């Protein structure tokens, strides 16, 4: 089990920030006690039990996997946690927006994987350094449970060519996989435990294997951006202010939902979903759609 990095009053030191920019990732970072993360997991699993058969417009998994912060107050509470934002500020600066919150869940003894890819490939945001992905473990993420593997310094590449597989066992929307050869020796396993986070650059090549354990591998994944980021493909895009101010106005801001899956939040979710799908699925011949 890797030793947690040492923060300075809950914030990145200059050395740790330099390490992030050198490697394209940083881990493991303690942001909350393990029992608090276990409580968040219990809240999520309670929500799953309450809403699984509640006739939502889309399957519950769709809302969990994409922009859950539009319809789930739990996601907003996690993404707005000042302990996480204090760490993110060391990379993005004082003005921070929430671009997306999703739950990556690999069920116990499942064969699902995430192919090696770069996050920014299809989002229309360009090869920006103004985005960072934070991965909060709500259960143990180890090589056995299918933790992420990062390729050190791969964020120094541009956006690389990817192939779309649309493999049913792939958790990504297009089953996208970078065409560059990634040797096993180039991968760093990102083992983190409940209450810990990892951070990675949007161009860092990463993926993960199957969960061979008897427990679910659950992560809350948060995409943060600063106001310098611009949507370059779509006509508009959306974000939620988390800290500081947005002086650029490149994104339409919206407020956290007041309760789970309220009608106005569901309508906004579909508005954002439709816009982002035109960007994310651009150029594919797949007719199943982004959320199939």
Q: Distance between CA atoms of 246 and 106, rounded to whole angstroms?
A: 35
Strand partners, 30: 196
Task: Give all domains of the chain, ordered by start, each with its CATH number.
Answer: 14-280 (2.60.120.620)
pLDDT band at 122 (very low <50, low <70, confident <90, very high): confident
Is residue 38 within 8 Å of 16, Cβ to Cβ? no
What tokens appear for 109 in the block? 């003894």
What DSSP string describes 211-266? Answer: B-SSS-EEEEEEEEE-TT---SSSS--EEEEEES--SS--SEE-PPPSSTT-HHHH
Q: What average pLDDT score do residues 91-101 get?
A: 98
Q: What average pLDDT score do residues 257-272 get?
A: 98
All residues at 6 or more sequence positions from 14 whose CB lies less than 8 Å from its CB, including other chains: none
Burial of 43: CB neighbours in 10 Å, binned 0-12, 13-18, 19+: middle
| Element of type H or E holding 147 | none
Q: Distance between CA atoms of 175 and 216, rounded to whole angstroms?
A: 21
What tens digit of pLDDT does each residue of 189-232 get?
999 999 999 999 999 999 999 999 999 999 999 999 999 999 99
pLDDT band at 289 (very low <50, low <70, confident <90, very high): very low
Q: Is the pLDDT of residue 164 over 80?
A: no
What tens digit of pLDDT does each residue of 55-82 get?
899 999 999 999 999 999 999 999 999 9
Mean pLDDT of all residues in the chain?
A: 92
């Amino acid at each position: 089990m890797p030793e947690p990095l040492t923060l300075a009053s809950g914030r990145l030191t200059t050395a740790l920030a330099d390490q992030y920019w050198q490697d394209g990732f940083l881990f493991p970072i303690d942001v909350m006690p393990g029992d608090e993360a276990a409580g968040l997991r219990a809240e999520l699993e309670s929500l799953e039990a309450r809403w699984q058969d509640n006739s939502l417009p889309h399957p519950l998994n769709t809302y969990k996997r994409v922009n859950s912060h539009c319809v789930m107050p739990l996601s907003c509470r996690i993404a707005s946690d000042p302990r996480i934002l204090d760490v993110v500020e060391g990379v993005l600066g004082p003005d921070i927006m929430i671009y997306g919150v999703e739950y990556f869940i690999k069920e116990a003894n499942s064969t699902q994987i995430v192919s090696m890819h770069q996050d920014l490939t299809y989002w229309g945001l360009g090869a920006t350094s103004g985005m960072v992905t934070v991965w909060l473990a709500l259960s143990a993420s180890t090589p056995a449970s299918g933790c992420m593997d990062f390729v050190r310094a791969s964020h120094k590449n541009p956006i690389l060519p990817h192939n779309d597989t649309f493999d049913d066992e792939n958790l990504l929307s297009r089953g996208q996989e970078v065409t560059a050869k990634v040797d096993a020796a180039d991968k760093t396993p990102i083992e983190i435990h409940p209450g810990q986070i990892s951070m990675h650059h949007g161009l860092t090549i990463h993926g993960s294997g199957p969960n061979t354990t008897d427990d679910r591998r659950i992560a809350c994944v948060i995409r943060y951006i600063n106001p310098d980021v611009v949507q370059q493909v779509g006509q508009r895009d959306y974000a939620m202010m988390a800290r500081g101010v947005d002086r650029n106005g490149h994104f339409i801001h919206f407020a956290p939902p007041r309760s789970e899956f309220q009608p106005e939040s569901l309508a906004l979710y579909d508005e954002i979903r439709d816009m982002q799908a035109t960007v994310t699925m651009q150029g594919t011949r797949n007719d199943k759609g982004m959320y199939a």
